[in-house]
Structure formats: C-alpha cells, structure tokens
Amino acid sequence: MGALHNGHISLIKQAQQVCDEVVCSIFVNPTQFNDPKDLEKYPRPIATDIAMLEQAGCDILFNPLVSEMYDDNEKWHLNIGELEHLLEGKFRPGHYQGVMQVVNKLFNIIKPDVAFFGQKDYQQFMVISKMVELMQMPVKLIMCPIERETDGLAMSSRNVHLTADDRQHALILSKTLSWVKANFNSDNIPQLQQQAEAMINTEPGIVLEYFEIVDGDTLFPATHQTQKVVALVAARAGKTRLIDNMLIV
C-alpha cells in the first residue's frame, strides 16, 4: 500500500533472484479499512516510493486509481472459514474480505507466476494462500522474512506515525517475541503466553490487543504436539496500531 521501506525493497530483491520481470503494485485499498480515519491518514508518499523502486531496479509499477479498480455496485465474498475471524479478523471484521478482493484483482490483471509477501502480515499470507487454493489460481506464493530496524522494531509503513516515546515503548513487542522464542517449552505454552501478555501490559503507552502462541498452519492455539509454532502480537503504541510475529519452532 505504498510508504515503502526496506522491508518492501527486500521483497523486490528476492523476486529479482527468481523472476525475469518484477512488478510492484502500490494501491491504498479502501475495502480493507474498517476505520475511515485510518484510510484517510494512511501515508501516500508516491514520489519517494517511485524513487525507491527505480533505485531497486523494479521493472514495472502498477499504481491504479480507486475508480480503475472498483465499480460502485461491486460485491465480493469468499468463504475461507474460521481463518478470516481469528486474531486480526476478530479486531478488524471484514478486513480480509477486502484484502482477498483486491489481491484477486491484482492476480487476474498481472497474472504473476510467483508472488512475494512479507511475513509481518503472517495471517494475510495464509488468507491469500487459502484464496489461491479455493480459486485454483496458477500462482506460487512465497513468504519473505520480516525486516527489522537495528533495535528490533519490525519495519512498517505505520512507524512514521510513532512519536519518539511511542517508538521506544513499541520495542517491547519484538523483545517479548524474542523472549518467548528463547524460553519456549511446549509443555508450558499457556504460562508463556500469560507472561508475554504481562510483559507488554506493564509497558507504558502500549495497549495490547492480543498475544497468541499458535499453530503456524491453522492459527489455532498451539499445543505440546504442534510442530510449527508462531507467536503473533497486535498492540497500539500511542495512536498507532502495530503487528509483529516470530517463528518459534
């Protein structure tokens, strides 16, 4: 959605390693916003974005108008089951329908062989994977690792809204994820989750929405038998909503 940073550019670089042509889309998609104010204030520095893409050697920028992507009376709904309503879906109802709607359009227009998405939006990757499976779309999806600032903060377009204090307090998210990874024991997942929540809740200026330790293939709570474990967090630092996650095992 623009406001590019080195996390986005890392996707371009990875795509260049395996693809003949790399297309980047920039489109602030209105159908995936629950809050009109959030849509209104979402950063749109298109000139800076274009310069970054040129410097990275991206071949094509697809930057359509809303009127080019949507008709006034357009309807969309794809049933992907519980995946839509867990974690992010619980706090942002309808969000993933908007994501699928626009990514479906993008894939039908561009017809990519491979599509690269960042791990920071872990659930989004799973949602798009489910859409591709259900609609039998001929595209391979690749999840690329989270890019972090030197202090551990996950790179995000929303970070520009953080005050200096907010940014410092926001480091508790990555610190807590790292602590869970370092102390992980499949026999005490509920206690780990409680301790993680307590760590974040005691940080000034941070309002926790969720911290969950889940099965990386289903997003259901992890158990001692879970093979692929992921911890995911969402919280507000001041007025800015941030998400992060970490692969635990």
**Tens digits of residue pLDDT in 176-219:** 999 999 999 999 999 999 999 999 999 999 999 999 999 999 99
Q: Where are the domains of the chain?
A: 6-144, 157-247
Of all helices (H) and strands (E), which one includes residue 14? helix 6-18
Establish whether 85 is a catalytic residue: no
- Of 8, 95, 161, 169, the catalytic one is 8
Binding residues for ATP: 1-8, 118-121, 155-158
Q: What is the pLDDT of residue 172?
A: 98
pLDDT at 186: 95
- Residue 53 confidence class, pLDDT cut points 50, 70, 90: very high
pLDDT at residue number 73: 85
Please compute the mean of the pLDDT values over residues 21-49 and round it to a whole number: 94
Cβ burial, residue 19 (10 Å; 0-12/13-18/19+): middle
Amino acid at 61: L
User: Do the two domains 6-144 and 157-247 of this chain adopt the same fold?
Assistant: no
pLDDT in tens, 101-123: 999 999 999 999 999 999 999 99
Can you tell me the mean pLDDT for 2-27?
A: 98
pLDDT averaged over the chain?
97
Please give the CATH topology (third level) of the domain spanning 6-144. Rossmann fold (3.40.50)
Q: What is the pTM of this model?
A: 0.96
Q: Which fold does the domain 157-247 belong to in CATH?
A: Pantoate--beta-alanine Ligase; Chain: A,domain 2 (3.30.1300)
Beta pairing class for 114-118 and 140-144: parallel
Which amino acids are annotated as binding site, given as ranges? Answer: 1-8, 32, 118-121, 124, 155-158
The per-residue pLDDT for range 59-106, each reduced to its tens digit, is 999 999 999 999 988 999 999 999 999 999 999 999 999 999 999 999
